[in-house]
C-alpha cells in the first residue's frame, strides 16, 4: 500500500487511540444514520423492557462509517460488557467456546470482519445464535463425548465490509441487519464540530464544510483530516482552524475538491488511459496498481462508485464519462455505453 493510502485510510494504533477519544459513547451522540438509530432505539427499548438481550445485529458497509462505534454503543446502552474479536482471530473451536461461555447475560460479542470466519467456526456459531447453546466434543477417539453447554443470552454484533461474502445461513440468523451508508456533508460537519470541541481546537464556520466535503462521506477520514488541520494551525501558531489553513493542508495531502487522493486518481488514470475505458477485472487493476484486491474493493472502489466515476459491469470495472472529464480527457473516449452499466443495487458482488 502506498504511503498516502496509509495516511488517509487505515488507522494505526496511535490513530486508534485518538479515534477512541472522539468516539460517540451513546446513541444520542451518534450523528446521522437516522434509520439505524430509530430501529436500534426501538429494539433496545423493547429488549430492556423484556429484561433480555437485543437480537443479533449485522452491520455492513465501507470502513470508517461507525460499525465498531455502534457495537460499543449497543453494549453501553444495554448495560452489558463488550467482548471484541474478529473473524480471522477465532482460529479454533475451543477459542470460540471460551469466548461464548464467558459471556454474561446481555453482553455484546463483537466480531469484526465476520466474513473471514472459518467454515467450522461459523457453523459452531449457529446454535449459539439460535439456541444459546455451544456444542462441544470432549475427549478424542472412542471415549469422545458430545456435550451441549448452555450460554447466557448475549447479543452478537457482527461487522463486515462485504455483506456479499456472507452465506445466507449466517446472514439469516441476524434479527437486525443494517447497511451503514456514507454520510452527508451536513452530518460530517456536525461530527467535525463535535470532535473539534473534544480535541479543544476551535474551527471556523467556513472551514468545517471544506473539510466535510473532502472526507469521502466518512467520519473516520473527517476526524483524521481535522487532526491534520489542527497540526497545521499549531505550527502556524493560529488559534483557530481557518478555511485557508484547511485549503493549505488538503493541498499538501494531495486531496482534491471531491475528496479524491492520489490512489483514487491512479485508479481512474488506469481505467481511462492505460485500459482506454474498456472493462477491467479487479485482479488486473490490483496487479497494475500494486494495491491489494481487498483495499481496492472495500476502500477505494465504493466511493468512486458512489461518485459515479466508475461502474461495475459483468465484464469488469469501467470508467464513466465523468471520470474522463475529471481527468481532463475528452469524454468521447468513454467507450462503454451508459445503458450497459449496471445500477449499483443489482451489482454482482464477486465479479473478480
Ligand atoms: N455516526 C457517527 N457520529 C460521530 N462519529 C462517528 C460516527 N461514525 C463514526 N464516527 C467516528 O469515526 C471513527 C471510525 O468509526 P468506526 O466505528 O471505527 O468505523 P468502522 O468500524 O465502520 O470502520 C470513530 O472513531 C468515530 O469517532
Ligand atoms: Mg471497525
Question: Annotated catalytic residue: which of 220, 228, 230, 317?
Answer: 220
For residues 60 and 63, give the distance between their C-alpha atoms in angstroms, rounded to a whole number.
9
pLDDT at 8 over 50: no
- Identify any residues that bridge with 134 across adjacent strands, giving them in sequence order: 149
Catalytic residue at 68?
yes
For residues 1 and 109, give the distance between their C-alpha atoms in angstroms, rounded to a whole number.
31
Return the ligand number nearest the Cα of 220. Answer: 1
Q: Are 238 and 245 within 8 A, CB to CB?
A: yes
Instruction: pLDDT band for 11, please (50, 70, 90 cuts).
Output: low
For residues 230 and 236, give the distance between their C-alpha atoms in angstroms, rounded to a whole number.
10
Q: What is the pLDDT of residues 264-275, one digit of tens each?
A: 999 999 999 999
Distance 193 CA to ligand 1 centre (A): 14
Catalytic residue at 161?
yes
Catalytic residue at 177?
no
Degrees (nearest 5) of the Cα angle 255, 268, 180? 70
Nearest to 127 by CA among 105, 106, 156: 156
Model pLDDT, residue 337: 59
Which cell goes with 87?
473473524
Model pLDDT, residue 336: 64
Q: Are 323 and 271 within 8 A, CB to CB?
A: yes
pLDDT at 283 over 90: yes
Nearest CA to ligand 1 atom 12: 220
Give long-range contacts, CB 8 A cutoff, 24+ apart: 48-53: 48/78, 52/106, 52/153, 53/78, 53/80, 53/105, 53/106, 53/107, 53/153, 53/154, 53/155
Ligand 1 pocket, Cβ-based, cut-off 6 angstroms? 19, 22-24, 30-33, 63-69, 191, 219-220, 223
Distance 254 CA to ligand 1 centre (A): 23
Model pLDDT, residue 346: 41
Residue 216 is classified by DSSP as: T
Distance 116 CA to ligand 2 centre (A): 14
Nearest CA to ligand 1 atom 8: 66
Model pLDDT, residue 344: 47
Domains and CATH numbers, the chain: 33-179 (3.40.50.300), 185-253 (1.10.8.60), 262-346 (1.10.10.10)
Q: Are 308 and 320 within 8 A, CB to CB?
A: yes
Q: What is the pLDDT of residues 144-159, one digit of tens each?
A: 888 899 999 999 999 9
Nearest to 214 by CA among 254, 160, 161, 155: 254
Catalytic residue at 194?
no
Neighbours of ion ligand 2 (CB under 5 A): 67-68
For residues 326 and 149, give the distance between their C-alpha atoms in angstroms, rounded to a whole number.
59
Q: Which residue has the higher pLDDT, 272 or 345?
A: 272
Q: What is the pLDDT of residues 98-120, one digit of tens each?
A: 999 999 999 999 999 999 999 99
Catalytic residue at 172?
no
Q: Which residue has the higher pLDDT, 64 or 137?
A: 64
Return the ligand number nearest the Cα of 187. Answer: 1
Model pLDDT, residue 1: 42
For residues 208-222, average pLDDT? 95
What phi and psi values does residue 148 have, to the nearest 5 degrees? -120, 115
Neighbours of 336 (CB within 10 A): 19
pLDDT at 253 over 50: yes
State the burial class of residue 173 (Cβ atoms within 10 Å of its Cβ: 0-12, 13-18, 19+).
Answer: middle
For residues 251-273, average pLDDT? 93
Distance 145 CA to ligand 1 centre (A): 45
pLDDT at 12 over 90: no
For residues 249-263, average pLDDT? 91
pLDDT at 187 over 80: yes
Which cell goes with 302?
465504493
pLDDT at 58 over 70: yes
For residues 164-173, average pLDDT? 91
Q: Are 26 and 76 within 8 A, CB to CB?
A: yes
For residues 255-280, average pLDDT? 93
pLDDT at 345 over 90: no
Helix (H, G, I), strand (E, B) or coil at 75: helix
Average pLDDT over the chain reads 89
Q: Are 199 and 180 within 8 A, CB to CB?
A: no
Cα distance from N-terminal residue to C-terminal residue, the chain: 20
Could you identify the residue written with the cell 451489482?
A: 347
Pocket residue to mutate for ligand 1, from 16, 23, 36, 110, most atoms within 8 A of Cβ: 23
Q: Are 247 and 207 within 8 A, CB to CB?
A: no
Model pLDDT, residue 3: 40
Highest mean pLDDT among 4-13, 52-61, 305-314, 333-342: 52-61
Model pLDDT, residue 183: 96
For residues 114 and 129, give the distance between their C-alpha atoms in angstroms, rounded to a whole number.
14
Helix (H, G, I), strand (E, B) or coil at 81: coil
Model pLDDT, residue 84: 95
For residues 165-169, average pLDDT? 89
Count H helices, E strands: the chain? 16, 9
For residues 130-144, average pLDDT? 88
Return the ligand number nearest the Cα of 113. Answer: 2
Share of the chain above pLDDT 90, in %: 75
Amino acid at each position: 500500500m502506498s504511503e498516502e493510502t496509509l495516511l488517509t485510510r487505515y488507522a494505526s494504533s496511535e490513530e486508534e487511540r485518538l479515534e477512541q477519544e472522539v468516539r460517540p459513547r451513546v446513541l444520542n451522540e451518534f450523528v446521522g444514520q437516522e434509520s439505524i438509530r430509530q430501529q436500534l432505539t426501538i429494539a433496545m427499548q423493547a429488549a430492556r423492557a423484556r429484561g433480555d438481550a437485543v437480537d443479533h445485529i449485522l452491520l455492513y458497509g465501507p470502513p470508517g462509517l461507525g460499525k465498531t462505534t455502534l457495537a460499543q454503543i449497543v453494549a453501553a446502552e444495554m448495560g452489558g460488557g463488550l467482548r471484541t474479536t474478529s473473524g480471522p482471530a477465532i482460529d479454533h473451536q475451543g477459542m470460540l467456546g471460551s469466548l461464548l461461555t464467558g459471556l454474561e447475560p446481555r453482553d455484546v460479542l463483537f466480531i469484526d470482519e465476520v466474513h473471514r470466519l472459518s467454515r467450522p467456526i461459523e457453523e459452531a456459531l449457529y446454535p449459539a445464535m439460535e439456541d444459546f447453546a455451544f456444542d462441544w466434543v470432549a475427549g478424542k477417539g472412542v471415549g469422545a463425548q458430545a456435550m451441549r453447554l448452555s450460554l447466557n443470552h448475549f447479543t452478537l454484533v457482527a461487522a463486515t465490509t462485504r455483506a456479499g461474502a456472507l452465506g445466507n445461513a449466517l446472514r439469516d440468523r441476524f434479527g437486525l441487519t443494517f447497511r451503514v451508508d456514507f454520510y452527508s456533508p451536513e452530518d460530517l460537519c456536525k461530527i467535525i464540530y463535535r470532535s473539534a470541541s473534544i480535541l479543544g481546537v476551535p474551527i471556523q464556520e467556513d472551514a468545517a464544510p471544506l473539510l466535510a466535503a473532502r472526507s469521502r462521506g466518512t467520519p473516520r477520514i473527517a476526524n483524521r483530516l481535522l487532526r491534520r488541520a489542527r497540526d497545521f494551525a499549531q505550527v502556524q501558531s493560529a488559534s483557530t482552524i481557518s478555511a485557508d489553513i484547511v485549503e493549505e493542508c488538503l493541498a499538501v495531502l494531495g486531496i482534491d475538491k471531491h475528496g479524491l487522493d492520489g490512489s483514487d486518481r491512479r485508479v481512474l488514470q488506469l481505467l481511462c488511459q492505460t485500459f482506454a475505458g474498456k472493462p477491467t477485472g479487479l485482479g488486473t487493476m490490483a496487479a497494475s496498481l500494486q494495491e491489494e484486491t481487498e483495499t481496492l474493493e472495500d476502500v477505494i472502489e465504493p466511493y468512486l462508485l458512489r461518485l459515479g466515476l466508475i461502474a461495475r459491469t459483468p465484464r469488469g470495472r469501467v470508467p464513466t464519462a465523468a471520470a474522463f472529464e475529471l481527468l481532463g480527457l475528452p469524454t468521447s473516449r468513454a467507450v462503454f455505453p451508459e445503458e450497459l452499466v449496471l445500477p449499483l443495487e443489482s451489482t454482482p458482488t464477486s465479479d473478480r
